[in-house]
Structure 1
Amino acid sequence: MDNPVLAAFNTTFTTVARGIQAVPGSAIVLDYIKNSYQNDPFRVVLELGLAIYAVKYMLSKKYRIDQSNVQLTEKEIDELVAEWQPEPLVQPLSDIQRMELEKTQVIVGAQGPKPKLLSTGKNLLNFASANYLGYITNEDIKKTAIETLHKYGVGSCGPPGFYGTLDVHIELEKDIARHLGTESAIIYAQGFSTISSVISAFSKRGDIIVADEGSNFAILKGTQISRSIVKWFKHNDMNDLERVLESIRVESLANKKRPLTRRFIVTEGLFQNYGDIAPLDKIVELKNKYKYRLILDESNSFGVLGKNGRGLTEVFNISPKDVDMIVGSMANTLSAAGGFCAGPKEVVDHQRLSGQAFVFSASIPAMLAVCASEAIKILTSPQGEKLLKDLHDNATTFSNVILSAPQSIELSAAAGSPILHLRIPQTALATAKILTRDDEKLLLQEIVDEVATKDGLLITRAKYVEHQELHLPRPSIRISICATHTKKEVEKAAQGIKTAFGKALSRRK
């Protein structure tokens, strides 16, 4: 070979080739590479491009901090630090927020029909807590709780799916399902997160939720985290509900390329923000007509409405099987903790893996689970029937006194409902020159303070997370009736509140 460069290259290549062939197994590797590149030319182009990019990256200019920045002297740094004014971590409190903090009452000792306040040391008649049947002071439940505490300890310290499920949890689920007449039930550790977790476990992105705009804050959060398409209908307006359902049907027919979606109607049984009940018979009729699933939140109606406290299905004599999911809280009527979802077995089993609040939260303490089971047993006994009757009678007595003053009080509540909202009538607002929402809240707070001082009543304004509410209700005083109040106490309380409303409005004229 005349060219010395080619001769040197040939010698080098031959030496390298012999060196590679001397490595054990090299023939197999070379044969694999040769066949791979012959059968897949795209691979050759891809790896060649990656090799070029790697070489270019290695040879590119490395990033360095710019050394031309201005160097400050110690004196200049001290001057800048002295001039710097830090921003507050939170915004300053408004006048109404400061008032709410100052007026918040703190109870000393156990809660009950007549708790003691820290600020005054006085015992007030309690119309502010959801102790509807008086289970908080029930001696039988207290005794059962103490016995369970000694046997199981304080908490389960683990999620239900791992090591947090005890026999008392399983029994409670059976008790709830048996009481409601459903096939199965599942319990959650926290009442607020139950309904939001149930909604998001079944309704996903692209699915459709049709919900009552008067629903509570937990339902609102459930619809938001589900990322579904949410349509709201006017509160308890069945004509508007049908209008929304029909518009969705027409839109679906027009858009034939739209994929098949799951569809849900979501509403409350007894509305926390209004005190009225949903017309379940009409909702079930529309649900069947338009082929929707129904999620019913009975957090306030479970244990309160119906002859045996079974909720709206018992009130309207509707089979629980016609409601796909019955959701409720055990922290209200049962005076325990947590929540539940009852329905068909497949609905319940799905939540054991997909209900986020179930999977990722420690189960409720055994003591509270046993208390809830004991409370359900009382509901079905003669004692429970008497408590429910006393509760409904007290609610009716209170409503009758309030309704005798329609010019100064607007009452929002269903017949026999233990939740009553008292608002200032629209006509009275104009007469009293109440122009803003804050003015209305201040006037209601005056009433709360006056009945606490003069009549010995503990009542409260309804509170909301106002900047997050989608449909913010008007300011109101929320009254919670208890079965352990006597008729005389209820009449006296209603009369005192009625008088306070009248005086507060007269002072503004």
Structure 2
Amino acid sequence: MGKHLVSWFVATTIYLSYGVMFIFGYVEEFLSYIKRKVLFFQKKKEPTQPVKKSKQLASLTNSFESFYIRKIYAKVIDTYNRPITTIPGTWIVVRDRWFSKGIGSELEYTGKEIKCLNMGSYNYLGFAKTTGKCHMDVIKSTDEFSVGQCSTRLELGTTRIHKELEAEIAKFVGKEDAIIFGMGFATNSTTIPLMAGKGSLIISDSLNHASLVCGSRLAHAQIRVFQHNDLRNLERVIRDSIIKGQPRKNRPWKKIIIIVEGIYSMEGEIAPLPEIVRLKKKYNCLLFVDEAHSIGAIGPTGRGIVEYFGINPDDVDILMGTFTKSFGSVGGYIAGNKDFINFLRLKSFGALYADSMSVPCVQQALSALRFIMYDKDGKKTVEKLRENSNYFRERLVRMGFEVMGDFDSPVIPIMLYCPAIFTTFSRECLQRDFVSVLPILLDELKNALDIISEVGDILMAKYRKEMNVDQQKLLSPRKKFEMLQNQQQSIQIK
């Protein structure tokens, strides 16, 4: 459980609950297998012709994944598969569904719609709405360009709005140029294979997103993994890789690419980018940073993790981000030097074969970006997100919940551990008109905290006593980095 340790009693009950769940699941699977065999032998009708044994087909998932989906996900699908009928704002309307024939059967609509406080969307800055300037700009772009270009970027799919967004995002992150894609996953999975070929090495964080893993595996390159946010392990992997060289031939690597995320979407942790940049320079590596959750969300003006730590954008070779979180749209971008971006325009499968990003979506991202960059309230919106995130995180910690992640991060995971607890937790919250980014208003945050605290008490999900937290633990990564720099400067002066 890493840094988030619980008592031995809680840990024992957690492992025991999973063990019991797996045992019952496998027993049920075995009994189902016996039943099928018995029914097969009871059949009296013989086949009219001999049945040839077909070759075993390649399965799409391994046996454990299939078992986990059938015996766990299928029984709790009501907790994560809830249709909503409104925009993903502070309040949403949820269509209530329940199992028609008991837990694990098909879901059916109950006829009930519930207005709930929303804590489970990516609408970080509130741009996904049907009012305001962004909405009006999208309507105008739809009237002018329609909803689709029916072409790839290299043929007829590039409009002036596509070019404007690419120019603005490059300016926003401090790079020479940028290219946009219609899907965030495809941004990574089609770009990384063009960066690394034979003789190249990819060094990837162990908790990188699936799109980064997919892109790395598609590249004709060797892959090494380092422990999550562990700088010592990262340096060890780099040094060992340089010393040993390529497999069998032991030749030097043509290039070494370090791939990390700005904010990790499942853990809410911010990457220690200053130290990663130092290692990148020390060993002459390339650095690829995925800012899907950090662009628009951290930094004084929302420019992401590079601005957050005060790093020169030139020290990061490739900056990737998406428009699905802070900007209320879809798609993603790659920002870098002009030569590399032009290379992507000519060679990337995302530009060669995929349909061009829908113009209304491009306009939504562009209008939101310009609001953050140029409007007097843009900086205030980013600052409000940071304040709300830190307030919410601190209150949860003081209540006694196990909370992962760093301060200043808008991703705030509460560790419930036990499968019985997290399903019941979700259902209990729904009964209180709450679905489990953050709401904007302080009163709504307090309301959400009260609901979480009440349900946490009922399910005994507070693994620590309510406490006065050490102020050192409430420091953000940027504050810790600044304190470390000041200490180093004081030592040098002495």
Q: Under a length normalisation based on structure 1, what TM-score does the superposition of the two structures give?
A: 0.73
Aligned twin of 1:452:
430
Matches within 5 A, 1:194-205: 194-205=187-198
Q: Deviation digits for residues 336-380 of structure 1, max 9, x if unmatched?
A: 111000011111111112222222101111111111111111112
Aligned twin of 1:142:
135
The 1:495/1:206 distance shift into structure 2, 3 A limit, reads farther
Q: State the SS of the aligned residue for 1:505.
A: coil
Q: Compute the displacement of 1:451 (Å).
A: 1.3
Aligned twin of 1:419:
411
Q: Distance in 2 between matches of 1:206 and 1:442?
A: 48
Aligned twin of 1:111:
88
> 1:105–1:117: 8 Å Cα contact kept in structure 2?
yes
1:400 and 2:394 matched = yes
Aligned twin of 1:11:
none
- Equivalent of 2:272 in 264, 267, 279: 279
The 1:451/1:420 distance shift into structure 2, 3 A limit, reads same
One-letter code aligned to 1:493: A
The 1:187/1:504 distance shift into structure 2, 3 A limit, reads same
Aligned twin of 1:124:
116
RMSD (Å), alpha carbons: 2.6
Q: Deviation digits for residues 2-58 of structure 1, max 9, x if unmatched?
A: xxxxxxxxxxxxxxxxxxxxxxxxxxxxxxxxxxxxxxxxxxxxxxxxxxxxxxxxx
Q: Distance in 1 between matches of 2:462 and 2:354?
A: 51
Q: Distance in 1 between matches of 2:201 and 2:449?
A: 43
Q: Deviation digits for residues 56-75 of structure 1, max 9, x if unmatched?
A: xxxxxxxxxxxxxxxxxxxx
1:80 and 2:57 matched = no
> 1:410–1:422: 8 Å Cα contact kept in structure 2?
yes
Q: Distance in 2 between matches of 1:486 and 1:289?
A: 45
Q: Distance in 2 between matches of 1:267 and 1:506?
A: 32
> 1:276–1:417: 8 Å Cα contact kept in structure 2?
yes
Q: Which moved more, 1:172-181 or 1:249-258?
A: 249-258
Percent of matched pairs sharing the same residue: 26
Q: Distance in 2 between matches of 1:197 and 1:309?
A: 26
Q: Distance in 1 between matches of 2:360 and 2:461?
A: 51
Aligned twin of 1:502:
457
The 1:369/1:253 distance shift into structure 2, 3 A limit, reads closer
The 1:142/1:258 distance shift into structure 2, 3 A limit, reads same
The 1:248/1:372 distance shift into structure 2, 3 A limit, reads same
One-letter code aligned to 1:133: L
Q: Distance in 2 between matches of 1:118 and 1:280?
A: 42
- Equivalent of 2:219 in 219, 226, 241: 226
Q: Under a length normalisation based on structure 2, what TM-score does the superposition of the two structures give?
A: 0.75
The 1:420/1:99 distance shift into structure 2, 3 A limit, reads same
Aligned twin of 1:59:
none
The structure number with the bigger radius of gyration is 1
Q: Distance in 2 between matches of 1:486 and 1:299?
A: 24
One-letter code aligned to 1:441: P
One-letter code aligned to 1:111: P
Q: Compute the displacement of 1:253 (Å).
A: 9.7
> 1:397–1:491: 8 Å Cα contact kept in structure 2?
no
- Equivalent of 1:325 in 318, 343, 346: 318
Q: Deviation digits for residues 69-90 of structure 1, max 9, x if unmatched?
A: xxxxxxxxx8415998999999
Q: Compute the displacement of 1:447 (Å).
A: 0.6
- Equivalent of 1:102 in 78, 84, 99: 78
Q: State the SS of the aligned residue for 2:334.
A: strand
> 1:401–1:491: 8 Å Cα contact kept in structure 2?
no
Q: Distance in 1 between matches of 2:392 and 2:176?
A: 38
Q: Deviation digits for residues 402-426 of structure 1, max 9, x if unmatched?
A: 10133xx2111211211111113xx
Q: Distance in 1 between matches of 2:411 and 2:207?
A: 15
Q: Distance in 2 between matches of 1:395 and 1:293?
A: 32
Matched residue pairs, number?
A: 392
Q: Distance in 2 between matches of 1:351 and 1:282?
A: 29
Aligned twin of 1:364:
357
Q: Which moved more, 1:376-385 or 1:310-319?
A: 376-385
Q: Distance in 1 between matches of 2:89 and 2:462?
A: 34
Q: Distance in 2 between matches of 1:238 and 1:254?
A: 24
> 2:399–2:462: 8 Å Cα contact kept in structure 1?
no
Q: State the SS of the aligned residue for 2:245.
A: helix
One-letter code aligned to 1:112: G
Aligned twin of 2:438:
481
The 1:257/1:230 distance shift into structure 2, 3 A limit, reads closer
Q: State the SS of the aligned residue for 2:72.
A: helix
> 2:456–2:462: 8 Å Cα contact kept in structure 1?
no
**Structure 2: runs of 5 or more not aligned:** 1-44, 61-65, 97-111, 464-494
> 1:223–1:230: 8 Å Cα contact kept in structure 2?
yes
Q: State the SS of the aligned residue for 1:265.
A: strand
**Structure 1: runs of 5 or more not aligned:** 1-77, 430-439, 460-479
> 2:245–2:253: 8 Å Cα contact kept in structure 1?
no
Q: Distance in 1 between matches of 2:70 and 2:198?
A: 38
Q: Distance in 2 between matches of 1:220 and 1:399?
A: 29
Aligned twin of 1:174:
167
1:386 and 2:362 matched = no
Q: Compute the displacement of 1:256 (Å).
A: 7.1
> 1:397–1:487: 8 Å Cα contact kept in structure 2?
no
